[in-house]
Structure formats: structure tokens, C-alpha cells
Homo-oligomer: A and B are copies of this chain.
Amino acid sequence: MTESINQQVKLARTPEGEPVPQDFEVAAGSVPEAGPGQVLCQTLFLSLDPYMRSQIAGRHISGAIKPGDVMLGETVSRVVSSHSDQFSPGDIVRCPGGWQQFSLHAPEALSRVSATDVALSNYLSVLGMPGLTAYAGLVWLAGPKAGDTVVVPAATGGVGAMVGQLARQRGCRVIGIAGGPEKCREAVEELGYDACIDRKAGDMAYLAAELDRLCPAGIDIYFDLVGGELLNQVSMRLAVGARVILCGIMSELNSAARSGGPHPALWIKARATVHGLVVYDFEPRREEFVAACLPAIRSGEIKPFEDCYVGLEQAPEAFCRLMRGENRGKVVIAVS
């Protein structure tokens, strides 16, 4: 081992509202040593995700992060030293490495990455948690059929970009919603959306009118990542037999206030099937998902669409940009 410093990013204080870089601090820890049965990993890539805003607020299903704690996060890492016969130095693994250069794990916490002929960062984007979220919700729960009208908010984000591409692959008519003309252009030109509504080009009434215009026969599938009033507006426009995937409340992540949801009569009228999705439940089917998606990623049919920053010290700023919706695709930090 050539390094003895373990660069880490800790939560400095619990943010109010939209986080700023000063809510985090870069610290120099020491590199831990692997004890009996443990595996020491060096972080190659770190994933930054919207759900982390709920973790630092203490509101997330996966647990809370308090000031002074190292930030949590999924990583693609390389095994440095191993006291487990299941892993050897040099192995590439996915693990909950957190916002740091080195992390210790029990072997059960590691998943080997076997197909290393694609960019390793892909295991945090299209082949990672956002990809599995998109695949489980769209393919396994919603069951898209060719010709279905699929609406995807946060259309170019980590999950949305994969939902859009998977839906297009299945012959759906895919309508994105994104913030700003540049994201909308990327959604259509790079990700293959049939159209993309710029949510910053008008108010909710404008957005609703655009949905009416672009989904004249109603919405068959809504992959909800944002909650709020948009979920209500979409629910008014569902086609009979619609499927709604509830997967995130991005519009409310920076706030503790909670609005109500759509009136149940809207979902009765559409005979909607609504699924609450937590990606962790689909962990046992991850290999099935990776095997299903690898060919299209190798061929370039599905693009990773990653927003990659180099250096762990970029993570606070990158996370704040993500929370302001300024990211361009899945946010990944190249750490080592």
C-alpha cells in the first residue's frame, strides 16, 4: 500500500433546505487494516444520489447520517487486502464504501463485478442502483407494451435516463420532463425520448397543457421520481389500465413539509395499478438485471449518460449541483 491517508467526506452540519458545500467537510482519516474475515477496499468510483438528501435529514429508510459521520454511498472498489477466502486483492466489487478512499467490509457486503469489459462506473449508473431501480419498476412492475405512452420526470437523471431508454427499447412512446432546454435536447437527441417537456418553461398549468398535447390518449405508465403536484396532474391524465411506479419524491427532498397525494378517485377511474418501489427489495434479482442489460450497454444502444467528476473533494459540490437539478445524468465521482 502506497497511501496511508484515507481521504473522507463527512457531514459537517445538517442542512436546512438546499444543501451547500459548507455542509460537508473533507477530512484526512487513516487507512484501516483488515481484521479477521475482513476485506479492505479502495474506492474507484462513488455514486451520488438524491436519496442521500433524505439520509442527512434522518428521513431515509436506509438510516440517518449525523454531523461528524462519514457520508454513506455505493461504490465500485478494488480489493486491496483480504482476510476472506472469497475475495482476493485486485478483485473488482460493488460495495457500500461511502464517501472515502478506503473502506473495510465483511465479505457479505461485497458483490463481485464479473463483466469488466464495460466502464466500471457503469456499475453505479445503468448497471447499478439507478439502473436496477429503472429496470425493476419499468420492466418487472409496470410491464411496458409497445405503443404505451410512458412519462418520465427527471428524464435525464440517473434513474430517468435508464427508464427512458428501456421504454424506448420496448417500443413505447416516451415523454420526458426535464429542467431547461439543454436537458430536453439531450433527452431527445441522446436518450431517444420522443419528446421532452421543459418544466422550467412555464408553470404547472403549462406542464399540464403540454401533457395533454403530447399524451392525447392518456398516460399508460408514469414512473414517478418527483411526487408533488406533478403526480396529481399526471394522475388526472392516466389511460385506463395505467401503471404508476412510486419511486421518489424529489420535489420535496429539500423540505420537511409534505403535501397530500392524488385523490383516490383518479386512480379508480383509470383502474390504475400503483406500485411503491424500494430498490433494495430487488437485490436478489440484480444479476438477472445485469445480464439482461449488458448486451445493450456493450452495443451502445443504452448509453450510461454519466456526469463524472474527478477527485473525492469534488463530491460536496457535485452533490449540491445534483440537489439543484444541475447534474447531467447520473452523478459519479472518480475517486482513485
Q: A273-B273, A273-B275, A276-B272 are in contact. Are A264 and B224 (CB under 8 A)?
A: yes
Interchain CB contact under 8 A, B281 and A268: no
- For window 183-232 of A, CB contacts with B under 8 Å fall at 224, 227, 231-232
User: Is A278's beta carbon under 8 Å from chain B?
Assistant: yes
Contact A264 B227 (CB under 8 A): yes
- Return chain B residues, CB-CB under 8 Å to A272: 274-276
Q: Which residues of chain B are within 8 angstroms of A259 by Cβ–Cβ distance? A: 260, 263
Given the known inter-chain contacts A269-B61, A276-B270, please indicate yes or no for A260 contacting B262, CB distance below 8 A: yes
The CA-CA distance from A269 to B247 in the complex, in Å, is 10
Q: In the assembly, what is the distance between CA of A227 and CA of B265, in Å?
A: 8
Residue from A264, A265, A278 whose CB has the most chain B CB atoms within 10 Å: A264
A87 located at the interface, meaning its Cβ lies under 8 Å from any Cβ of chain B in the complex: no
Is the CB of A120 closer than 8 A to any CB of chain B?
A: no
Which of under 10, 10 to 19, 20 to 34, or 35 or more describes the interface residues of A? 20 to 34
**Does A258 belong to the interface (CB within 8 Å)?**
yes
In whole angstroms, how far apart are the Cα atoms of A268 and B252 in the complex? Answer: 14
Q: Indicate whether A112 reaches chain B with its CB closer than 8 angstroms.
A: no
Chain B residues with Cβ under 8 A from A268's Cβ?
246-249, 276-278
Residues in chain B near residue A273, CB distance under 8 A:
273-276
A263: B residues at CB distance < 8 A: 227, 249, 258-261
A289 part of interface (Cβ distance < 8 Å): no
Q: Which residue of chain B is the closest to A61 with respect to CB atoms?
A: B269
Residue on B nearest A235 in the bound complex, by CB? B261
Question: Which B residue sits closest to A268, measured CB to CB?
Answer: B276
> A102 an interface residue at 8 Å Cβ cutoff?
no
A155 to B231, CA, bound (A): 31
Which of B261, B265, B271 contacts A264, CB < 8 Å?
B261
For chain A, residues 228 to 253, give those with C-beta under 8 angstroms from any C-beta of chain B. 231-232, 246-249
* Nearest B residue to A59, CB-CB: B265
By the criterion CB–CB under 8 Å, are B277 and A271 in contact? yes
Residues in B with CB closer than 8 Å to A61 are 269
Q: 11 A-B contacts, Cβ less than 8 Å apart?
A: A227-B265, A259-B260, A261-B262, A261-B263, A261-B267, A267-B274, A268-B278, A270-B276, A271-B275, A273-B275, A274-B275
